[in-house]
């Protein structure tokens, strides 16, 4: 009976694949994404700053 | 202002978009891969970006051989260095991904091996550059080597791994991600990621080019 059920679920292709559903629902994964965005934006702002510094020297 | 900086703005915008949707968006459910399928948005663009940036480097080398202006050599030099950084990031991220999906940091996969060889070829380019004192000589010989290096890179990454069994998707009879994994949900994040990271690489390379050009002017 168990085997039969197992075969049935396999046949339907309903193999449960684990994903971070719960995390996305209420696990506050968006907080991590926000942190990543802040770090990236911070690095980009530094890059813009460097770009400006080089421009200043070029215009001298 | 916009005319000069549009690609930098586009790069940042596209990467911000992929950071958000790359992690929050829906992806296909695959056994073994699980959520790590999202690495496609971050690991693969490193390699795609590297190829495009190194192609630009080879292009600048050809330009230098046609017209020996130092600016061409400076551009070839900077883009090659950014390309190497991208390749090292691609290698490191690939090894982490491999550990958790293929079960080992390094499994001697053909594509891993050929990528390692490609990185060594480009490291040799940097060593070669460092071994000249005379500017014109360095620029000319490095340009020739750089074109040779790019000519090696293409078969190393795109042809040789396909001739044998490989763990990488799209190689050795394995279907590519494009075949079934890369569905339209992923495409709308993956391609912007490639463009975004490539443009960011060009931005960093342009900064370096400007700095070494200034240095050369100061020396004169």
Complex ipTM, two decimals? Answer: 0.72
Q: Report the distance separating Cα B166 and Cα B38, nearest Å.
A: 21
Query: How much of chain B exceeds pLDDT 70, in percent?
Result: 94
B207–A51 CB contact, under 8 Å: yes
Residue A21 has pLDDT above 60, yes or no: yes
Q: What is the pLDDT of residues B1-32, one digit of tens each?
A: 677 889 999 999 999 999 998 888 888 877 78
What is each CA distance from B2 to B5, B6, B9, B54, B125, in whole angstroms?
Answer: 5, 5, 9, 26, 35
Instruction: List the single residue in A with minimal CA-CA distance to B15.
Output: A40
Give the integer Cα–Cα distance in Å for B157 and B9: 30
Using pLDDT thresholds of 50, 70 and 90, give the confidence band for residue A14.
low
Q: Which candidate from A17, A30, A48 shows the least CB-CB separation from B24?
A: A30
Question: Tens digits of per-residue pLDDT, B100-144?
Answer: 888 899 998 888 999 999 999 999 999 999 999 999 999 999 999
| Residue among A19, A33, A54 whose CB faces B34 most closely | A19
Q: Compute the distance between CA of residue B100 and CA of residue B171 in angstroms, rounded to an integer.
A: 20
Residue B174 has what pLDDT?
Answer: 57
Distances (CA, A) of B195 to B42, B45, B115, B187: 12, 8, 21, 12
pTM: 0.85
Residue A15: list chain B partners with CB under 8 A.
31
């Amino acid at each position: 009976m168990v085997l039969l059920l197992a075969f049935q679920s396999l046949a339907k292709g309903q193999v449960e694949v684990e994903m971070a559903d719960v995390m996305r629902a209420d696990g506050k994964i968006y907080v991590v994404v926000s942190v990543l965005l802040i770090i990236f934006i911070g690095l980009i702002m530094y890059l813009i700053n460097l770009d400006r510094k080089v421009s200043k020297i070029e215009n001298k | 202002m916009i005319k000069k900086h549009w690609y930098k703005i586009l790069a940042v915008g596209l990467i911000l978009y992929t950071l958000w949707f790359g992690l929050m968006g829906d992806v296909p459910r695959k056994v073994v891969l699980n959520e790590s399928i999202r690495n496609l948005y971050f690991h693969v663009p490193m390699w795609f970006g590297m190829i495009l940036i190194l192609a630009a480097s080879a292009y600048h080398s050809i330009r230098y051989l046609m017209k020996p202006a130092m600016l061409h050599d400076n551009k070839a030099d900077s883009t090659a260095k950014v390309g190497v950084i991208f390749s090292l990031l691609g290698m490191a991220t690939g090894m982490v991904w491999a550990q958790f999906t293929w079960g080992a940091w390094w499994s001697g996969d053909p594509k891993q091996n050929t990528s390692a060889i490609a990185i060594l070829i480009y490291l040799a380019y940097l060593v070669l550059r460092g071994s000249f004192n005379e500017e014109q000589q360095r620029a000319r010989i490095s340009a020739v080597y750089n074109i040779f290096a790019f000519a090696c890179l293409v078969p190393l990454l795109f042809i040789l791994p396909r001739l044998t069994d490989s763990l990488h998707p799209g190689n050795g009879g394995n279907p590519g991600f494009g075949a079934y994994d890369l569905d339209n949900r992923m495409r709308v994040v993956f391609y912007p990621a490639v463009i975004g990271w490539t443009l960011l690489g060009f931005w960093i390379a342009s900064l370096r080019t400007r700095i070494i050009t200034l240095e050369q002017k100061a020396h004169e």
